[in-house]
Amino acid sequence: MSTNKQSRVQSRRVSDLPEVKRRRRLENLLYTGKRVSQLATEYRSHGLEEHIELYLLQLEVEQVLADEFPDAFEEHIGSWAEDEAAAEHRPLVTAETCSLCHAISAHRADGAEAPLAA
């Protein structure tokens, strides 16, 4: 009986590390999933073909999350969909939250005069 008890204590201590790893994996999946869904939306808003690859990646991340952390998936998938809907914008509109819009306007500001003047 006592050996049984001891091995249970040991196995709990050993499982601390996987628990930390698991939490880190969950955080990575959540971060990646959110970022990828944001990028897919931005690329789609700009009519860029890469949005398809990003969308497939998004589905893949969501699938892994749903398989490994169903509770976290349920908890976050709704807000991701809301973020996506909010981030989507029309092709000729500049959106404050869109990183591609920021990149484009930064590029324009940098090289606005140079190519024409040369």
Which residues are near Zn ion by CB under 5 A? 95, 98, 100-101
Tell me the closest approach of the beta carbon of residue 98 to Zn ion, in angstroms.
Answer: 3
Pick 61 or 98: Cβ nearer Zn ion: 98
30 vs 58 by CB, closer to Zn ion: 58
Nearer to Zn ion, 16 or 96 (CB): 96
Q: Which is nearer to Zn ion, 10 or 105 (CB)?
A: 105
Please state the closest distance from residue 10 (CB atom) to Zn ion, in A.
54
Contacts of 41 (CB under 8 A, 6+ apart): 51, 83, 84, 87, 88
Question: Would you call 9 exposed, middle or buried from its count of C-beta atoms within 10 A (0-12, 13-18, 19+)?
Answer: exposed
**Under 8 Å between Cβ of 65 and 72:** yes
Least Å distance, CB 42 to Zn ion, is 6
Residue nearest to Zn ion (CB): 98
**Which 3-state string (H, E, C) describes 32-78?**
HHHHHHHHHHHHHHCCCCCHHHHHHHHHHHHHHHHHHCHHHHHHHHH
Work out how close the CB of 116 gets to Zn ion at its nearest, in angstroms, rounded to a whole number. 24
